[in-house]
Amino acid sequence: MGFAPMSVIELVLVLSLSFFHGGEGVLSTLDGPFKPVTVPLDNSSRGKAVDLSDTDPVVQRVVEGFEPEQISLSLSATYDSVWISWITGEFHIGYNITSLDPKTVASVVQYGMYGLPITDEATEDQYKWLERDLASVDREVTPWLVAAWHPPWYSTYMAHYREAECMRVEMEDILYKYGVDIVFNGHVHAYERSNRVYNYTLDPCGPIHIVVGDGGNREKMAIAHADEAGNCPEPSTTPDEYMGGFCAFNFTSGPAEGKFCWDRQPDYSAYRESSFGHGILEVQNETHALWTWHRNKDMYNLAGDEIYIVRQPDRCPVESGGT
Ligand SMILES: *[C@@H]1O[C@H](CO)[C@@H](O)[C@H](O)[C@H]1NC(C)=O
Ligand SMILES: *[C@@H]1O[C@H](CO)[C@@H](O)[C@H](O)[C@H]1NC(C)=O
Ligand SMILES: *[C@@H]1O[C@H](CO)[C@@H](O)[C@H](O)[C@H]1NC(C)=O
Ligand SMILES: *[C@@H]1O[C@H](CO)[C@@H](O)[C@H](O)[C@H]1NC(C)=O
Ligand SMILES: *[C@@H]1O[C@H](CO)[C@@H](O)[C@H](O)[C@H]1NC(C)=O
């Protein structure tokens, strides 16, 4: 499981399609912070599914050099330029699509050079690029700021638990300062949504972190939680070599004070479930976005998790350069 570089996406989406009846009765982040919920693994839902072996041709990838495999990469010319910032104005989705007039559709893509590890000078470049980029967003025009990168900061699964602490320690402050609304991550093969959090503290102006690494993976699903008995890794075993070495520290306050793991689902984790699925973010206006997560095993109109993510620009003023 490789390290995928960070990308930052600024999105203004106006979606008129509604696939599910979100809305009525759906809680919002204003109702939070929520008590942590864990939905236990439903092992029966596997049915007769079998894992393909590594040698199965379906599993074996035939990639010749650099291939655009995901949005951040496909927008880059080469694989050493993959920090992506993307402002989306308008787009079409559906069956009978006509071309948009390029003169009226603003889609601004910016990218910077990427370097490893993220704690040395290369990082400094990345940090500066990110700060410049975040500062350039006029939130009157582009209210929603969504950041996406591969390894999560706020995951409570045992797999990859707190591996990216160096990155979090270095970069969390600017995401907070510029009012990033939502962070999407993968890496952990399960689903988890956080409460609003900053520096491990519940904070009404911190981003919501959503781990949607549950697209399906032959490396199997993540099931064990770091807060379950016997599952807390020894801190020095956790850093990922690509992610800057060792930065993990024990918690300094709260029920987990002095320890590396909680002994129950942490308060920053609102909902977690080990089931493969996918999510839809429907940005409705400048303050409300409906996030729904759907288990693959369910019918499409059934959401396993849904929440209105509500921005509060008055309560949480953000630095904005504007243009
Ligand atoms: C799920 O079920 C399979 C067999 O059906 C079993 O081998 C596996 O250990 C179970 N996994 C868990 C986490 O219970
Ligand atoms: C697709 O759009 C064209 C042109 O607007 C229209 O003539 C056609 O009927 C549409 N087809 C469908 C299936 O909606
Ligand atoms: C984050 O919390 C730690 C203690 O848990 C503290 O040492 C550090 O200064 C805090 N960082 C920020 C940016 O507030
Ligand atoms: C951090 O917590 C772990 C247990 O979670 C413990 O083994 C370790 O000694 C602690 N480290 C420090 C510096 O307190
Ligand atoms: C934004 O959308 C939400 C949810 O649909 C709605 O309740 C709210 O009134 C809307 N706000 C504005 C300013 O349109």
DSSP character string of 130-174: HHHHHHT--TTT---EEEE-SS-SS--BSTTTTTTHHHHHHHHHH
pLDDT given for residue 95 in this prediction: 57
Q: Which domain holds residue 227?
A: 7-310
Residue 315 lies in a domain: no
pLDDT tier for residue 72 given thresholds of 50, 70 and 90: very low
pLDDT given for residue 130 in this prediction: 82
Distances in Å between the alpha carbon of 82 and those of 2, 85, 109, 144, 150? 15, 9, 11, 21, 12
Stretch 238-262: mean pLDDT:
86
pLDDT given for residue 11 in this prediction: 35
Letter string b/e over residues 11-43, b meaning 16 or more CB atoms within 10 A of that residue's CB:
bbbeeeeeebebeeeeeebeebbbebebeebee
Residue 90 lies in a domain: yes
Percentage of the chain beyond pLDDT 90 is 40
Q: Which two tokens stand for residue 256?
A: 């987990």
Residue 318 lies in a domain: no
Residue 321 lies in a domain: no
Residue located nearest, by CA, to atom 11 of ligand 1:
43
pLDDT given for residue 159 in this prediction: 95
pLDDT given for residue 116 in this prediction: 45
Residue located nearest, by CA, to atom 14 of ligand 3:
199
213 compared with 117, residue with greater pLDDT: 213
Residue 322 lies in a domain: no
pLDDT given for residue 103 in this prediction: 62
Most confidently predicted of 17-26, 69-78, 180-189, 278-287: 180-189
Residue 317 lies in a domain: no
The neighbour count for residue 85, using CB atoms within 10 Å, is 23
292 compared with 130, residue with greater pLDDT: 292
Stretch 220-248: mean pLDDT:
87
Counting the structural domains of the chain, the total is 1
Tell whether the torsion through CA atoms of 185, 190, 195 and 199 is positive or negative.
negative
Q: Which two tokens stand for residue 271?
A: 């909902």
pLDDT tier for residue 318 given thresholds of 50, 70 and 90: confident
The neighbour count for residue 116, using CB atoms within 10 Å, is 14
Q: Say yes or no to pLDDT of 7 above 50.
A: no
How far, in Å, is the centroid of ligand 3 from the Cα of 199? 6
Mean of all residue pLDDT scores within the chain: 78
Residue 192 lies in a domain: yes
Q: Minimum-distance ligand to the CA of 254?
A: 3
pLDDT tens digits for 147-173?
Answer: 888 889 999 999 999 998 888 988 899
In the chain, the amino acid numbered 262 is: W
Q: Say yes or no to pLDDT of 74 above 70.
A: no
Single pTM value for the model: 0.79
Residue 255 lies in a domain: yes
Domain CATH for 84 = 3.60.21
Least confident of 195-209, 240-254, 295-309: 240-254
Quick check: 307 and 39 in contact, CB under 8 A?
Answer: no
pLDDT given for residue 18 in this prediction: 39
Q: Say yes or no to pLDDT of 80 above 80.
A: no
Tell whether the torsion through CA atoms of 296, 182, 11 and 115 is positive or negative.
negative
Which atom of ligand 1 lies at the shortest distance from residue 223's CA? 13
The neighbour count for residue 140, using CB atoms within 10 Å, is 10
Residue located nearest, by CA, to atom 4 of ligand 3:
252
Stretch 92-121: mean pLDDT:
51
Quick check: 193 and 277 in contact, CB under 8 A?
Answer: no
Q: Say yes or no to pLDDT of 300 above 70.
A: yes
264 lines ligand 4 (CB under 6 A): no
Question: In a mutational test of the pocket of ligand 4, which residue from 162, 231, 250, 262 has the highest number of ligand atoms less than 8 Å from its CB?
Answer: 250
